[in-house]
């Protein structure tokens, strides 16, 4: 008998998929003495473990048979109703029919690819943009049209040109974007909605960090502004935006719980994607999250998260200010989990990462976040995961790395 | 502003996806006074709720911060190692590198579609076969070549003809198949492996019920026989079979935990699919399942499940024998959760379902399990979910329905 030639049997979409060089490099950061600013991990210190324990016991005692059984593809109805109430209170009015529960926002991104993308379709994205979305959609053969972004998010002055290509949809992360930390201004949000409507192109709004603002005023979500623009007050959202958010940053990512808000006919199609791809999200996890969150716990808990992350961001900024060489610049994010560093043109952050790993500190080079290529002189630095002391030590190590680089390269 | 024409924006694969008439009919079976033999649900009475509660408390107390954090795409290492040990003990020798944890077996089926199927590729399936696999793979544009099956499973006399078409893989459910309850004989398993090797076509073995045998001798899995055939003893499986199994039938489906066994290079590709589609399966659920299962609990627990399900099967068979009209025939399944009923040629089980729903009892008409069409005179009846008393009542109602049908149709 002969060996199975597996690699020749893979589908076109899978033959293209490669593990990136960066991902391989970052595997080195799993060493225990490494200080990693590379991941996008929440601080484990803020996980509400006691509340989870109470909720697990309650759910198993009161309705264990239901919580451990198969559930519906749409998601646990009380959880969907709770999200609808919460969303109606703070943002756009929606009903449970506007909501699908997914196993993390990554799954929502995958389903959007599955639902909308034919091979070769164009998607408008910010540059830089979230890598997980590119990964999900490239599997469906997407091509990207990039719109440049600055500290106020996607520069809508360049959006109309992109829309004239005839893209399937526009993807935007308006709040404290991963990776750049930037926030889309109110004026640009309105311009985005107007242009999208004018060209009949839907918007995907990805908002994992919206509630994690550490300073300044909350800016209304794109989906809410779209609803206002449509002056639609019937309580069920049926506009031009698909909105994604998640419990990963508010409760804990290990549960894999997120949600999609969309017009009910789009939700119905997404439910069919859910059926074919994994039937439904864990009934148990949905019930546990519902029990933790239902009494308004999240309103209080998010204040704790904000204060912890704000301190970490401020410590990081303070040390960077103190010790980083002048060749390096960065932007102060108003919220979220990431800080965006910019090196001089021509300096490759991937090379700096290799040196940093020698000093036991890591970050993510920013090149791969740019689907249009280039911008290898950028870096994403996470500030949510490490404690202030670890941040001080890690940024010091990174500062030493940078000083060596600029010394060696003859920069001052 | 105008409405978004969502339906024109959907991708080709999604425009084709329709909710089936049967699925709509079965929604009627969610009424509380309905006795439903339609679902494929485990008995909630056998869920080990106490053990789950202990495990949840242990995991949250001992390593809550880790259990609620992001995890690796491959799955929780101790769980993968436990599955490898268990599998090496009872079946083919494997290591953790042969194993990927998925969110239920449906997700494994989806990933296999994602990894292997180009639009138009042919897949060899039994007829009837598992509907969830057809749903998953049709989304990737699969076409099906059917091989007829009888009570000994796929009739391998017809397999070679199918293999000459050049299919991507062969899909087989060897034990107590969903929907037909049939079990692939040892002789046919060996023939399947031989022919698959001869034509270089991989086999997907889907085995959710393998341990749920109520009589007769266990038949070795296809993956194990394939390994024996290859005489490969190096402890890491690298043959021609991808094997799927699940905790849904052994512990509880609400956790969404299943696993894939495959050669390590195939697992690596599947891990990339996992990354793009939902990052990883719930860390918490994997740790909880590990704690429940690690001390050999499953060995004992599966005996409980077997005795409960065997009783339910036997009660169902007994009442059917007693009251069903002679026009209806059925096969006694040796295990699993389903019994397969056969009506006379020309009788449409979907019509019978409509009448049965009037009498508050439901099953799944068998037509849609046949990708080659026809066989509308078949029905899938679940015996695992309902208690013996409910089975007695439900089968009595179904018997009355059948008597009316055959009376009206002039059958005796």
- Global confidence as pTM: 0.96
- Is residue B63 in a domain? no
Over residues B136-158, the mean pLDDT reads 96
Domain count for chain B: 2
Q: Do residues A325 and A406 lie in contact, with contact meaning Cβ atoms separated by under 8 Å?
A: yes
**Does the pLDDT at position A157 exceed 80?**
yes
Query: Which is more confident, A277 or A88?
Result: A277
Residue A276: pLDDT above 90?
yes
Task: State whether the Cα torsion A227-A233-A237-A239 is positive or negative.
Answer: negative
Whether the CB of A276 is below 8 Å from some CB of chain B: the reply is: yes
Q: Is residue B58 part of a domain?
A: no
Please report residues of A whose CB lies closer than 8 A to that of B17.
269, 272-273, 276
pLDDT at A212 over 90: yes
Under an 8 A CB cutoff, do B277 and A110 touch? yes
Clarify whether residues B304 and B292 are in a common domain. no
Using the predicted structure, report yes or no on whether residue B26 has a pLDDT greater than 90: no
Indicate whether A102 and A192 sit together in one domain. yes
Calculate how close chain A gets to B261, using CA atoms only, in Å: 15
Whether residue A176 has pLDDT greater than 70: yes
**Cβ contact A118–B2 (<8 Å):** no
Tell me the pLDDT band of B412, cut-offs 50, 70 and 90: very low
Q: Are B310 and B187 within one domain? A: no
Tell me: do B316 and B386 sit in the same domain: yes
Same domain? For B309 and B292 the reply is no
Please report which confidence band the pLDDT of residue B410 belongs to, taking 50, 70 and 90 as the band edges.
low
Domain boundary among A296, A316, A345: A296
Nearest CA in chain B to A254: B68
Looking at the structure, tell me whether residues B235 and B321 fall in a common domain: no
Whether residue B152 is predicted with pLDDT greater than 80 in this model: the reply is yes
Res. A127: pLDDT tops 50 = yes
Q: Specify the pLDDT at position A88.
A: 86
Of A309 and A31, the structure prediction assigns the larger pLDDT to A309
Q: Evaluate whether residue B311 is within a structural domain.
A: yes
Cβ contact (<8 Å) for B14 and A116? yes
The domain that holds A204 is classified in CATH as 3.40.640.10
Of A13, A60, A277, the CB nearest to B52: A60
**Long-range contacts at B29-36 (CB < 8 A, ≥ 24 apart):** B29/B357, B29/B362, B31/B360, B33/B360, B34/B357, B34/B360, B34/B361, B34/B362, B35/B360, B35/B361, B35/B362, B35/B386, B35/B390, B35/B393, B35/B394, B35/B397, B36/B361, B36/B362, B36/B382, B36/B385, B36/B386
More confident site: B26 or B125: B125
Last residue of a domain, one of B297, B327, B350: B297
Q: How confident is the model at residue B1 (pLDDT cuts 50, 70, 90)?
A: confident
Q: Is 80 exceeded by the pLDDT of residue B309?
A: yes
Domain that holds residue A12: 6-48+299-408
pLDDT band at residue B112, thresholds of 50, 70 and 90? very high
Does some domain include residue B42? Answer: yes
CATH code where residue B330 lies: 3.90.1150.10
pLDDT of residue A411 exceeding 60, the answer is no
Instruction: Note the pLDDT tens digit of each residue in B346-360.
Output: 999 999 999 999 999
At A354, is the pLDDT very low, low, confident or very high (cuts 50, 70, 90)?
Answer: very high
Report CB contact under 8 Å: A70, B281.
no
What mean pLDDT comes out for the span A64-75? 95
Q: What pLDDT shows up at residue B29?
A: 73
CA angle B142, B144, B148 (to 5 degrees): 160
In this prediction, residue A409 carries a pLDDT of 57
**A367 and A286 housed in the same domain:** no
Pair A103, A281: CB distance under 8 Å: yes
Q: Give the mean model confidence (pLDDT) for residues B5-15.
A: 91
- In this prediction, residue A19 carries a pLDDT of 67
Report residue B88's pLDDT band, with 50, 70 and 90 as the boundaries. Answer: confident
Q: Is residue A400 part of a domain?
A: yes
Regarding whether B191 and B319 lie in a shared domain, the answer is no
pLDDT for residue A17 is more than 90: no
Considering the domain architecture, whether residues B246 and B314 belong to the same structural domain is answered as no
A276 plus A324 within the same structural domain:
no
Does residue A218 share a domain with residue A86?
A: yes
State yes or no: pLDDT of B193 exceeds 60.
yes
Does A202 fall in a domain? Answer: yes
Say whether residue B1 is in contact with chain A using an 8 A CB cutoff.
Answer: yes
Asked if residue B240 belongs to a domain, the reply is: yes
Let me know whether A332 and A380 are in one domain: yes
Q: Does B167 touch chain A (CB under 8 A)?
A: no
> What pLDDT score was predicted for residue A412?
46
Domain end residue (candidates: B297, B318, B345)? B297
B276-282 mean pLDDT: 96
Over residues B188-212, the mean pLDDT reads 97
Domain presence at residue A111: yes
Q: What does each C-alpha distance from B307 to B179, B293, B304, B376 come to in angstroms?
A: 21, 19, 5, 32
A70/B266 Cβ within 8 A: no
pLDDT tier at B383 (50, 70, 90 boundaries)? very high
Please, which residues 18-57 of chain B have a Cβ atom closer than 8 Å to chain A? 19, 39, 41-42, 44-45, 47, 49, 52-53, 56-57
Tens of pLDDT, residue by residue over B31-44, are 889 999 999 999 99
């Amino acid at each position: 008998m002969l060996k199975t030639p597996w690699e020749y049997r893979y589908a076109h979409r899978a033959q293209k998929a490669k593990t990136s060089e960066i991902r391989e490099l970052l595997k080195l950061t799993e060493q225990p003495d490494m200080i990693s600013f590379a991941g996008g991990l929440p601080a484990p210190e803020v996980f509400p473990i006691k509340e989870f324990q109470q909720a697990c016991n309650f759910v198993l005692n009161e309705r264990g048979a239901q919580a451990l059984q198969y559930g519906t593809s749409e998601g646990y109805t009380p959880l969907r109703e709770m999200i609808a109430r919460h969303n109606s209170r703070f943002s756009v009015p929606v009903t449970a029919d506007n909501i699908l529960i997914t196993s993390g926002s990554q799954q929502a991104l995958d389903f959007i690819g599955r639902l909308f993308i034919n091979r070769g379709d164009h998607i408008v994205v910010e540059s830089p943009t979230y890598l997980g979305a590119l990964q999900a959609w490239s599997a469906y053969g997407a091509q990207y049209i990039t719109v440049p972004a600055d500290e106020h998010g996607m520069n809508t002055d360049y959006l109309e040109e992109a829309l004239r290509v005839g893209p399937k949809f526009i993807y935007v992360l308006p709040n404290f974007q991963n990776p750049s930390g930037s926030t889309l201004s109110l004026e640009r949000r309105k311009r985005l909605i107007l242009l999208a409507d004018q060209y009949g192109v839907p918007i995907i709004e990805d908002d994992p960090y919206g509630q994690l603002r550490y300073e300044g005023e909350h800016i209304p979500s794109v989906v809410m502004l779209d609803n206002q623009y449509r002056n639609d007050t019937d309580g069920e959202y049926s506009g031009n935006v698909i909105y994604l958010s998640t419990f990963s940053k508010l409760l804990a990512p290990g549960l894999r719980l997120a949600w999609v808000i969309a017009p009910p006919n789009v939700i119905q199609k997404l439910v069919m994607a859910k059926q074919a791809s994994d039937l439904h999200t864990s009934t148990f996890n949905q019930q546990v999250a519902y029990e933790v969150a239902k009494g308004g716990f999240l309103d209080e808990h998010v204040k704790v998260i904000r204060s912890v992350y704000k301190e970490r961001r401020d410590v990081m900024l303070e040390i960077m200010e103190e010790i980083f060489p002048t060749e390096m610049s960065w932007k102060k994010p108003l919220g979220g989990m990431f800080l965006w560093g910019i090196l001089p043109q021509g300096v490759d952050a991937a090379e700096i990462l290799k040196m940093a790993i020698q000093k036991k500190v890591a970050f993510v080079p920013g090149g791969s976040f740019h689907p249009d290529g280039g911008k290898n002189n950028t870096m994403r630095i996470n500030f949510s995961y490490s404690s202030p002391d670890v941040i001080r030590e890690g940024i010091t190590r990174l500062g030493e790395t940078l000083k060596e680089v600029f010394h060696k390269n003859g920069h001052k």
